[in-house]
Chain A
């Protein structure tokens, strides 16, 4: 398996623009997570899904953030409109079942100017 695949790897956008980050979990994994990593706050859990259903989105910082998982092999994290303080590395992770080993993608480095 190729592991968790995220795209793009790097994104530079202007403030106010819409940004969409994509994630393909490992085949057969039923849980998917979105994290944000910054120097100041470390790794923050934004949202997680079980069987394509969002379970807890309390970590989503603002209404500008939204996440979807239309099927078991694809998820998106959207920021609209983007702001400079959204600049961070966004990670997607997946696990086979609830409370099993989690595997991370390589991340998307987002820069909002």
Chain B
């Protein structure tokens, strides 16, 4: 069975600093991996997704994530944080099977950006 672990429920960075949000997954078959972002009082929206085409995935707003099979990780990074990046970020893993849908979300990491 697949699972997702996000390390750190809260991460705080200074504006302009590197953002690193950690995600590890468990899956018995090659997974699809996603990062979603949730701004206050809004639903989740897709930031980026890995579908096996390339291990380094670029998303919106300057974020990117690298799929590392050997480490079962899909960490999210951004070189320089901006105030508008303050939000909650969710990693998700999805595996297709004959039963159809199965996507599991991590518990989320709230990113704080200090001026």
A, B co-complexed:
no
Interface residues of A (CB under 8 A from B): none
